[in-house]
């Protein structure tokens, strides 16, 4: 497995690179965001460990550019910015995991292995509910043959709803699935994303695919 670390601190980069190599993987160090984009680091790696506070081009911009180009390489964000808003911003940009500095090297290695297991063992799947067809391999939604562009958050929300079609999906379930942790802040964060998702898939429909279950969460209609 080839892992790239995009990190401007040479001390941290050397320690992480040494640990990754000792674990039996290849590792490349990239020192700034501009080089990461120029060298197509995310596209050429199996997993990327990405710092956010990078010179020249910030880590979030690197991540957003890669996701906008359709690059789905798993990314572990490694940063000193550990507040909930910062984590949400990282996951919104397309991060797969988030590790706050200072961190234990063993924990980073464990997270790398966990992501590797998920990506190598996860079968290519298609979820289908009525006219909705969701491809987990291409991250694409089709509605009655028409492709609809979704953000990573919208895609994750719809995936969970389709897996539990006809059942109530709670806000806690959505938060843990989309962001990897429970959200104890304003519930309108979820509602905003859900309304945007509805606006995309309910166009020209009299009723909504997604029903709000008051006080409980949401449910996807069975047909």
Q: How many CB atoms lie within 10 A of CB 216?
A: 11
Whether residues 117 and 156 share a domain: the answer is no
Tens digit of each residue's pLDDT (9 = 90 or more) over 156-168: 999 989 988 888 8
Q: Whole domain around residue 173: which residue ranges?
A: 126-220
Beta strands in 40-174 (DSSP E): 47-51, 75-79, 97-100, 126-129, 132-135, 140-143, 146-148, 169-170
Total domain count for the chain?
2
| CATH at residue 211 | 1.10.10.10
Whether residues 111 and 183 share a domain: the answer is no
Contact of 143 with 131, CB cutoff 8 Å = yes
* Residue 32 DSSP class: S
Whether residues 114 and 191 share a domain: the answer is no
Tens digit of each residue's pLDDT (9 = 90 or more) over 84-129: 888 889 999 999 999 998 899 999 999 999 888 877 655 547 888 8
- This prediction's pTM: 0.57
């Amino acid at each position: 497995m080839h892992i790239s670390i995009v990190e401007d601190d040479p001390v941290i980069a050397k320690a992480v690179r040494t640990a990754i190599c000792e674990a039996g993987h290849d590792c490349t160090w990239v020192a700034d965001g501009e080089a990461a984009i120029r060298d197509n680091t995310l596209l050429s790696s199996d997993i990327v460990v990405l710092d956010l506070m990078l010179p020249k081009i910030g880590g979030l911009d690197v991540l957003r550019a890669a996701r906008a180009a359709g690059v789905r390489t798993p990314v572990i964000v490694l940063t000193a910015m550990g507040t909930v808003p910062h984590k949400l911003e990282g996951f919104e940009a397309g991060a797969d995991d988030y590790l706050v500095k200072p961190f234990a090297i063993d924990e980073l290695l464990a997270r790398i292995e966990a992501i590797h297991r998920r990506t190598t063992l996860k079968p290519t799947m298609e979820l289908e509910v009525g006219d909705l067809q969701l491809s987990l391999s291409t991250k694409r939604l089709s509605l009655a043959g028409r492709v609809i562009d979704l953000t990573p958050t919208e895609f994750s929300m719809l995936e969970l709803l389709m897996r539990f079609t006809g059942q109530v999906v709670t806000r806690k379930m959505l938060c843990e699935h989309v962001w990897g942790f429970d959200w104890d802040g304003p519930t309108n964060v979820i509602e905003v994303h859900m309304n945007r998702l509805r606006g995309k898939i309910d166009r020209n429909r009299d009723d909504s695919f997604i029903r709000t279950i008051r006080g409980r969460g949401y449910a996807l209609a069975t047909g």
